[in-house]
């Protein structure tokens, strides 16, 4: 397997990595409550949970939009969410996966992440 060199500082600054909260959590520079990790993805509990089960699944690579994600990253993200939904006991009762993408969706953190929410009935449609 080819090992990709760690991004240089200038490159990190250019693509927003050095300022990115989730990159810092993934790198272990800021504490996060990790629930899963593989070579492409990192999942952690939301700091402000909106349901009894609420975690976030992110690509490890700093990308902001779904458009930038590779097929392999998407597969890993969905597989991680599937596995964790089962682990947290929401597979039978139901859960919701949400991506807030861009301004109209109220995206607060510009590093792609899938919310997985469950453990209570969830209203629809969203506000």
* Contacting positions for Zn ion (CB under 5 A): 20, 22-23, 62, 111
Applying CB under 6 A, the span of 3-11, 76-84, 86-94, 102-110 interacting with ligand AMP comes to 102-110
* 107 lines the binding site for ligand AMP (CB under 6 A): yes
- Choose among Zn ion, ligand AMP, none what residue 111 binds, the Cβ cut-off being 5 to 8 Å by kind: Zn ion
Q: Can residue 47 be called a binding residue for ligand AMP (CB under 6 A)?
A: yes
106, interface contact from Zn ion, ligand AMP, none, CB < 5-8 Å by kind: ligand AMP
- How many CB atoms are located within 10 Å of the residue 77 CB? 25
Restricting to residues 49-88, name those near ligand AMP by CB under 6 A: none
Residues that bind ligand AMP (rule: CB under 6 A) add up to a total of 12
- Which H, E and C letters describe 43-78, residue by residue? EEECCCCCCCEEEEEEECCCCCCHHHCCHHHHHHHH
Q: Which residues bind ligand AMP (CB under 6 A)?
A: 21, 25, 32, 44, 46-48, 100, 106-109
């Amino acid at each position: 397997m080819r090992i990709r060199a760690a991004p240089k500082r200038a490159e990190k600054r250019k693509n927003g990595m050095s300022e990115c909260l989730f990159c810092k959590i993934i790198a272990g520079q800021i504490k996060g409550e990790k629930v899963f990790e593989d070579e492409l993805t990192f999942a952690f509990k939301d700091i402000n949970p909106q349901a009894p089960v609420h975690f976030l699944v992110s690509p490890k690579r700093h990308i902001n939009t779904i458009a930038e994600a590779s097929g392999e990253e998407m597969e890993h993200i969905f597989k991680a969410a599937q596995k964790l939904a089962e682990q947290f006991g929401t597979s039978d009762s139901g859960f919701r996966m949400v991506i807030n993408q861009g301004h109209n969706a109220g995206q607060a953190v510009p590093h792609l992440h899938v919310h997985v929410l469950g453990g209570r009935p969830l209203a629809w449609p969203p506000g």
